[in-house]
Structures are given as structure tokens and as C-alpha cells.
Amino acid sequence: MKILLQMPGRDAESWRAALAAALPEAEIAIWPVAPADPDYALVWRPPAELFTRVRAVKAIFNLGAGVDALLAVPTLPRDLPIIRLTDAGMAEQMAEYVTLATLRAYREMDAYAAQQRDARWLPRTRLAKAGFGVGLMGFGVLGQAIARALAPFGFPLASWSRTRKSIDGVTSFAGTVDLRPFLKMAHVLVCTLPSTPETNGILGRHTLSQLPQGAHVVNIARGDLVVDADLIECLDSGHLAGATLDVFRAEPLPVDHAFWHHPRVTVTPHVSAVTLISESVAQVAAGIRRIENGQTVTGVVDRRRGY
């Protein structure tokens, strides 16, 4: 079995060592060294040159949950299955991140931080939890893990996705017709949607203005889902109380971007979940073994939908 591993800016040798331990029978090459026809290509944001030099025979594994960058590569073979990571330790990390952001919004910690800077001792009236809904925009593996993490806190939880999904304790909304009522309940709106032509710019003035007065936005999905100028306008007008942003249209976020110094924006450098080598390799190795045994594998990307 031949495997091509392409990992720009990452510890490729650590990945190779983990893969060799999980798949001792495999011959593993690290790009730009490459066999002409590997059985599998394991890639993350690959250059177009890769697919002109090599031709994977059985499948391409995308070493992350988001496949938008891979699908945009013009030389990507059209007839090979693409398999993405469906969790690999990311769900727990994202659940931690969103729980922190949600509790920070609910307990109004930004307001107390501002009062501290002014040396003001002013207890605030506690918000009614029953009226503080959390809306999960996107409800796949990651969205469902976030829902499970938030459930013990007692917030009203709702999900919005392409198709209706049923999980205890979560009100399900689906499709365009349900978007408005979903947004109206979301005092914290958490976005985990994939980046597709349909979702690009979905968090713009039209949707943000339908959130409750004083709502918070948490984006851990992709930066192109947010219309930056519209979000800033909604924050400046006071309609939104805050935004916690981990992903951006340009990364690293340009030093002159308004998000850096906006008093109602929290910026983190795409760290809501980092890809963990051991968990990722275990998932990839399991997928390869299933393919080798003629079995089905999870995480196969539907190219038409973009995820």
C-alpha cells in the first residue's frame, strides 16, 4: 500500500510516524517526494501541482473537517472519493470553546469587564435563562457535540440545518422557511456550517437583523460565512451585543482589520479546535482499512453540496 502525505506548515514527520504505527504495511512518502500512483493521498490545502504529478488510485483523505479549499483546487480528480475528518478530537474542543463563549455572554462578563475598567461596582439584573436561547446553525457531528455540552446548563437549544434532525432537548428547524423563527430565538447564534456557495455570506445584515436585540454571534465555521461590514454595523448600532470570531475571510486577520480593536468583538486565531494527530490518524487508518476490506466509510464528501 502506498500513501502520499502532504502537510504544509505542519509536523509532517510526526504524522508519518503516527501513520506508520497505525498502518505498518504502508509505504509513506511526504510531498514533494511522491510516488506516481499512490493508493491514497492524505492532504491539507494541497497545491494544484500535486494532482498533476500524482494520481491517487483509491481515495483522497482531507486532513480536516472543512473541504472548501480542497474542492477549489482546479486539478482535483473528479472521479475519486474524498473523505474528510468527521471529528478527530475537534468536537470536544469546539464544544469547550462555544460553552465558554455562551456562558460569557449569558453572565455578561464583557459588561463587568468594562465596569472594572471604570472602577464601577454595579451588580446587573440576572438574565432569565428560559429566555436565553442558543441557536446552532449547522447540526452535524460538531453541532451535536456542542448541543450535548450545553444541555446541562438549561438553555433553550435549537438547531437549523438543511434537513430536520431529531435530538432530545433540541428544537429542530430546517430549510429556508424555518430560518426566521430559528433566528428569533437565538440570543447566542453559533455557526458551524460548511463553506459552500449557498452559505457564503449567510451571516449578513438580512440574517443578523433578525436576531434578538442584544444577541451574540459565535463563528467557528469559516470566515466567508460572515459579511464583515454588516456584522460591524449591527454591533455599532447596538442590535448585537457581541461577536466571538475564530475564523476570518483572510487569515491571519490583517492588522488593520476593524475586528482587532472593536470593543464588542473577541478575536481568536483559528484555535477553537486544532487537528490532533493521534485522533486524526486513527480515523484515517480506520477508513483506509475499511476501504481495503471492501466496506463503506464515513465522511465521504458530496461534491455537489460542498461537504
Per-residue pLDDT tens digits for 35-84 = 889 999 999 999 999 999 999 999 999 998 889 999 999 999 999 999 99
CATH number at residue 47: 3.40.50.720
Which of the residues in the chain have pLDDT under 50? none
| Per-residue pLDDT at 10 | 67
| Per-residue pLDDT at 12 | 92
Q: Are residues 110 and 250 in the same domain?
A: yes
| Per-residue pLDDT at 130 | 97
| Per-residue pLDDT at 9 | 75
Q: Among 84, 104, 216, 222, which one carries the catalytic annotation?
A: 222
| pLDDT digits 0-9 by tens, 130-158 | 999 999 999 999 999 999 999 999 999 99
Tell me the backbone φ, ψ of residue 266, rounded to 5 degrees.
Answer: -105, 125
Is residue 299 included in any domain, yes or no?
A: no
| Per-residue pLDDT at 86 | 87
Is residue 307 included in any domain, yes or no?
A: no
| Per-residue pLDDT at 88 | 80
Is residue 302 included in any domain, yes or no?
A: no
Whole-number Å distance between alpha carbons of 61 and 129 = 42
Q: Is 230 exposed, middle or buried (0-12, 13-18, 19+ CB in 10 A)?
A: middle
Tell me the backbone φ, ψ of residue 60, rounded to 5 degrees.
Answer: -115, 125
Is 270 designated active site? yes
Q: Structural domain tally of the chain?
A: 2
| Per-residue pLDDT at 51 | 96
Q: Are residues 54 and 168 in the same domain?
A: no
Is 239 designated active site? no
Q: Are residues 19 and 69 in the same domain?
A: yes
Q: Are residues 221 and 99 in the same domain?
A: yes
Q: Are residues 81 and 97 in the same domain?
A: no
Is residue 65 included in any domain, yes or no?
A: yes
Which of these, 199, 116, 113, lies nearest to 162 by C-alpha position? 199
Q: Among 84, 270, 289, 303, which one carries the catalytic annotation?
A: 270
The last residue of one of the domains, among 250, 267, 284, is: 267
Q: Is 250 exposed, middle or buried (0-12, 13-18, 19+ CB in 10 A)?
A: exposed
Q: Are residues 110 and 53 in the same domain?
A: no
Is residue 35 included in any domain, yes or no?
A: yes
Q: Are residues 107 and 217 in the same domain?
A: yes
> What residue numbers bound the domain in which 21 lies?
2-88+275-292
289: left (phi over 0), alpha (psi -120 to 50) or beta: alpha
